[in-house]
Amino acid sequence: MDNLNPHAELLIKAQVILTQNQDREVLEHAGLAVGQGLILDIGDWEAVSLRHPGAKVLDLGRSMLLPGLVNAHTHAPMTLFRGAGEDMLLMDWLTQRIWPLERELTPELIHLGALLACAEMIRFGTRAFLDGYMHEEEVGRAADTTGLRAVLGEGFFRFPSPLFPTAQAAWDRVEFLRERFAGHPRIGLSYCPHTVYTTDPEDLAESYALARKHGLIWQTHCSENAAEIESCLSLYGKRPLALLAEMDLLGPGTVLHHCVDLTQAEMALLAETRTGVVHCPESNMKLGCGQAPVRALLKAGVAPALGTDGAASNNNLNLFGEMRRAALLQKVASLDPTALPAQTALDMATRHGAAVLALPGDQGLVPNAPADLIALDLTFPNLMPLHNPVSQAVYAACGQEVRLNMVDGRILYRDGCYLTLDYPGLSAEVRQAQTWVKNRLPV
């Protein structure tokens, strides 16, 4: 095979393709050609099929193709804690449920939780995720096995901690991960301080300098709720973003999660510095943190991505739900039905997320982009009739309609079957882990 002119290995035919390209073209009765993990061609089905004779054909019939979604903030192994701490204030949830459970987690359990998260994300159309947790080599192993793209973040906070006695121990762990996944085509690394108020300023600065040195993402929770703002003001006399700005920690490559409590000046600063922002509407709603000013961020020039947060605070990893909630929240907050249109919500889950994570494929389904795509089954009653494909994907789809998930040209899921993991075996192991969690919850 000529590597400069790869031949199509597979032709995919569908009723509709949401390209998410620069012009947001919607193609009907269309197809695309896949070869060597890339999209080689896309357009009218007859024309594409004539240009690539001899390739295998996958006719999806009444289906809609679109780019795979990007979950720009999650804690994958926390699937094991789904339902373990419900209807609690954020700090009570952390101190009385989550942190006590996390102190007893083993690498084996973390790997199991990560596999379950990957299975869930694959099933609901995710192609890539930005993670933040501990023993992230186990999350990387799960992503490697299942075929997803991932950016790993080894979480740390004020030292000494249960995981790291010193800052150097945390930096050594990230270096180990860099060596472990060096050259991996789908797995990247990040530095991941927990928050401004749980991490000492010198460690924020040092981790940021290391991230810039190695060309890695630097991610942290920021301005998640009023209590966080108050803690930061009490400790440093400054709001979280003011402190980050003073320390010169904003800019491309910095990713801030949540950003619920922002001033107009802070939004302008985020836009000016081109800092990444991730909106997590369902987690923010469930924990009573409030709603991020996404419409105002967009007007300021920020392009927020979407994340689910962990399954312990959501309680799912379904980005279709996040798209819908993101759009509806801005409409009700502003009493304006034109706030955050469906197209913008879809951009947040695709193009914006890919840009924030510096992933390939941030320009949509176009030639030479990675073949990272999903298909929705348009025979589902909630997706008929199809007057507006973008609207259907954002407001009508719930994720169960995903019938195909392909990453890097490899099919991970198709019509109810996982092709990269043993789901029945995984389910049995998760049921055993349920007992482990239950035995450690307060009576």
Express as a percent the part of the chain with pLDDT over 70.
99
Q: What angle do CA 381, 412, 396 make, to 5 degrees?
A: 25
Q: DSSP secondary-structure letter at 7?
A: P
CA distances from 140 to 112, 262, 407 (A): 12, 33, 16
- Which CATH code, of 3.20.20.140, 3.10.450.230, 3.30.360.10, 3.40.50.1970, is assigned to 69-356? 3.20.20.140
* Other beta carbons less than 10 A from residue 43's beta carbon: 17
Helix, strand, or coil (residue 413)? strand
How would you label 142-171 residue by residue, b for 16+ Cβ within 10 Å and e otherwise? bbbebbbbbbbbbbbbebebebbeebeebb
Q: How far apart are CA 368 and CA 21, in angstroms?
A: 12
- Which residue, 314, 281, 315, is CA-closest to 297? 281
For the domain spanning 10-67+362-418, the CATH number is: 2.30.40.10
Strand 10-18 relative to strand 26-35: parallel, antiparallel, unpaired? Answer: antiparallel
DSSP string, 232-290: HHHHHSS-HHHHHHHTT--STTEEEEE--S--HHHHHHHHHHT-EEEE-HHHHHHTT--
pLDDT band for position 94 (50/70/90)?
confident
E strands along 68-179, which residues? 69-74, 126-131, 149-156
Over residues 297-305, the mean pLDDT reads 98
- Which residue, 396, 271, 296, 283, is CA-closest to 342? 396
Over residues 300-317, the mean pLDDT reads 97
Over residues 78-98, the mean pLDDT reads 90
Cβ atoms of 223 and 275 within 8 Å: the answer is no
Lowest average pLDDT, out of 91-95, 121-125, 344-348, goes to 91-95
Q: DSSP secondary-structure letter at 83?
A: T
3-state secondary structure labels for all residues of 157-176? CCCCCCCCCCHHHHHHHHHH
Residue extents of the structural domains in the chain = 10-67+362-418, 69-356
Predicted TM-score (pTM) of this structure: 0.97
Over residues 25-36, the mean pLDDT reads 98
Region of residue 262 (phi > 0: left; psi between -120 and 50: alpha; otherwise: beta):
beta
pLDDT single digits (tens) 256-267? 999 999 999 999
Q: How far apart are CA 181 and CA 173, in angstroms?
A: 12
pLDDT band for position 6 (50/70/90)?
confident
Helix, strand, or coil (residue 302)? coil
Q: Token match 């482990």: residue?
A: 436
pLDDT single digits (tens) 193-207? 999 999 999 999 999
Report pLDDT for 442.
86
Q: How far apart are CA 66 and CA 364, in angstroms?
A: 8
pLDDT single digits (tens) 141-200? 999 999 999 999 999 999 999 889 999 999 999 999 999 999 999 999 999 999 999 999
Instruction: Kindly tell me if the per-residue pLDDT of 302 is higher than 80.
Output: yes
Q: How far apart are CA 5 and CA 367, in angstroms?
A: 12
pLDDT single digits (tens) 198-248? 999 999 999 999 999 999 999 999 999 998 999 999 999 999 999 999 999
E strands along 140-212, which residues? 149-156, 187-193
Close Cβ partners of 124 (under 8 Å, ≥ 6 residues apart):
69, 316, 317, 318, 319, 320, 399, 400, 402
Over residues 49-60, the mean pLDDT reads 96
pLDDT band for position 3 (50/70/90)?
very low
Q: How far apart are CA 71 and CA 41, in angstroms?
A: 26
pLDDT single digits (tens) 385-442? 999 999 999 999 999 999 999 999 999 999 999 999 999 999 999 999 999 999 998 8
One-letter amino acid of 205 = A
Q: How far apart are CA 194 and CA 196, in angstroms?
A: 7
Report pLDDT for 389.
98
CA distances from 96 to 13, 51, 282, 312 (A): 51, 61, 21, 13
pLDDT band for position 4 (50/70/90)?
low
